[in-house]
A = this chain, B = another copy of it.
Amino acid sequence: VTERVVVIGGDAAGGSAVSQVKRARGDEVDVVMVERGRWTSYSACGIPYWIAGDVDGPQALVARSPQVHRANGIDVLVGTEAVEVDLDCAVVDVRGPDGQTDELGFDQLMIATGATPVRPDIPGIDAQGIFGIQTLADGASVVDALSEQRPLVNAVVVGGGYIGIEMAEAMLRRGLNVTVLDQAPEPMPTLDPDMGRLVREAMNGMGIDVQRAQVEGFEADASGRVRAVLADGQEHEVDIVILGLGVRPESSLAQSAGLCLGESGGIRTDERMMVEDSAVFAAGDCVESFDRVSKSWVHVALGTHANKQGRVAGINLAGGQATFPGIVRTAVSKVCDLEIARTGLREVDARQAGLDCEVVTIESSTRAGYFPGSTPMTVKMLAAAGSGRMLGAQIIGREGAAKRVDVCAMALWTEMTVYELMQTDLSYAPPFSPVWDPVQVAARVLSAKLAER
């Protein structure tokens, strides 16, 4: 009989893996991909832009549909949930769209079950009109809600992280009054608070009301539809609520199969994306990644990691050799025209870890100061006091600001000092950069500060 590879989860990681396996081994293997939802290989990151109206969803967000995967020779089971994995017997129990259960034997297994949005257990959370943003079905629900005859006036976004700010933009652009509630002092908790403050001020300037508040519950009207958010004793009237409280690794299936989880709750794998102490592969939002800067395991749910990890898992599943060398926690987002990026450690992380470091925050511009379209940008950067090694950077600005974080990510990746970063040969011409790139201005000022110690 032909060898069978079963992949649980059909989004970025699973989809990348099955493509690799099929490409490498063709008809030598049966590849079965089990997907709970209707769609495969889609861009969850695109959902806020679909809701905002930038993108025609959901089809545009689907990179490879089940049909495309099938045309590539993958056996795709949609609407099918993997309910149990028996590693000893090498069997996955699945429940299909009409509720029937089945046993799926495997020679090789990969788990790519993704992540689940955090949904706090507070009164009224199950009222209609409260939406998480995770799957294309979630996106469709919000688009439907916004298309109802009853006009929606007030939106509350709970949580000021990536999904929170992106959905705040989406709601604003759909014409709603938008309030973002977050229990942290400033939005964007993956930034230092001083940079988060800049985000809050900019969002307030866009007409988004960002408030520090702890959400205590939701009130519904007689029809069961959310009508108010209760937060810090205040009542916010709402027509729609978006939950943007982050995600947790969806690792329960792996856990009940006895597979190794890390402290973050994500599945712990080695560099080959093989789960520790097993022959199972795992990749994507359900696994932990190794943070090369803090030398610790962290859960970072990002499509780009899922794609890279899925590719690595797929190559190894097919008998090849590939490794995923970890991450440096680079992330980028925007709210309207405000671009936000970060990589490495924040100042709060470095202080908490007891690292002796220097920190600077500089103002520069995206282009030569005299060039049309040049806009101010802020770079915060930190470096280790002894070695001068760059530890992290955060960038806030307008068009052209955020992608510069990639240079900082490369510096972190290679453990470069800020002295060296300042001297690297980055591209310069007036339409693209000041004569010192803003990242190098930060590195230069930081170098001077380190030299003064």
Contacts and interface: CB of A to CB of B under 8 A. Distances in A.
A49 B431 contact: yes
Contacts of A54: 371-372
Contact of A410 (B49, B305, B414, B435): B414
A205 to B, nearest CB: 19
A200 interface: no
A411 B410 contact: yes
20 contacts: A43-B430, A43-B435, A45-B428, A45-B435, A60-B370, A304-B428, A308-B422, A330-B427, A331-B429, A332-B428, A332-B432, A332-B433, A343-B425, A402-B432, A406-B426, A407-B407, A407-B410, A409-B424, A409-B427, A410-B414
A445 interface: no
B414 A426 contact: no
A137 B427 CA distance: 26
Interface stretch (A79-87, A184-192, A321-329): A321-329
**A326, A370, A407, A432: residue with the most chain B Cβ atoms closer than 10 Å:** A370
A10 to B, nearest CB: 16
A402 to B, nearest CB: 6
A307 interface: yes
A405 interface: yes
Contact of A370 (B43, B326, B339): B43
A405 B410 CA distance: 12
A12 interface: yes
Nearest to A56: B370
A435 B304 contact: yes
A297 interface: no
Interface in A360-407: 368, 370-372, 400, 402-407
Name which of A12, A402, A407, A425 has the most chain B CB atoms within 10 A of its CB: A425
A45 B403 contact: no
A55 interface: yes
Nearest to A289: B425
Contacts of A413: 424-425
Which of A403, A427, A428 counts the most chain B CB atoms within 10 A? A427
Contacts of A183: none
Interface string A42-61: 01011001000011000011
Contact of A330 (B400, B420, B425): B425
A429 B327 CA distance: 16
A157 to B, nearest CB: 17
Contact of A427 (B341, B370, B436): B341
Contact of A325 (B406, B410, B423): B423
A334 interface: yes
Contacts of A211: none
B433 A403 contact: yes
